[in-house]
Structure 1
């Protein structure tokens, strides 16, 4: 495993189900659409996707995360595999929709570009890609050791990159941006309201 993969696998092994609660709102997909989630973790978003389509596939680089996702109610029919998002084990134009929820930002620059290239490759003409990643406006931006511009490593070895809207548009070219926006809210921490922010984007693959 690469260093970032080992860090995530260690985190899931130590802490178990890292992400609980309901998944954040997602765009609708047709019931018969072939859907891929890249970086499914312990299955939080995958559970929501499996309720929308019967043809859902999901991958994660952490074997422990995939094991946890397999135990989650409602996703028994989903195809789950351990795989690197930078080199997906699928033929080109295999999926109608691809979801990347807080996965792309946990890779360094070359990795982010490789993932975006793989999304373009496996997405069918007319298909859509949904991206969500933390914004440079988020309260955690700037925390930790900076490894690249707007990329910071936590003490556990996991890195997080913080995006601008323009950066996300450029990253997923030549896909056509349908919508790119920053979602903002506040989190109360020790009596203070601190800003949270993430960039959400939907792209379409033109003919």
Structure 2
């Protein structure tokens, strides 16, 4: 019984399968970034309009999560289909699952809905959030590629050096937080 618990803890903490997949090729990463940016850009104003014009007049704000999830799921399913029609050469297979797991749009929607933001603010957040998410995907992919080809001690190869690099990158980007004040 203790072996099963050890395997469970090891799989959950140390050998997390989501952190160690094979690297995504550049075109697929671009397609994921574009779909994520479009999902955030379209999903934020649509969800905010749904909250303001359907849920608020009917006093059903407690059900916002149950209505926003299907809206985002429909968008996450439709955007790769649209991308596949517009750019037939781009690898759009399997993007639906990755977009369904993207909770950045849901978090922003719940935050903006509770703040009472306007649709124009949601659109601005959508543009900035989508481009920021795309940039973060590209930065982490480049970090992963550089750490793969770097001369790293054996104990730090793979996931440990990627986590260290992500931490350093996060500290560097957090220095920008006080740059723009209201």
For normalisation by structure 1, the TM-score amounts to: 0.22
Q: Which structure has the highest helix share of the two?
A: 2
Higher relative contact order (CA 8 A, sep 6+): 2
Larger radius of gyration: 2
Q: Which structure has the highest strand share of the two?
A: 1
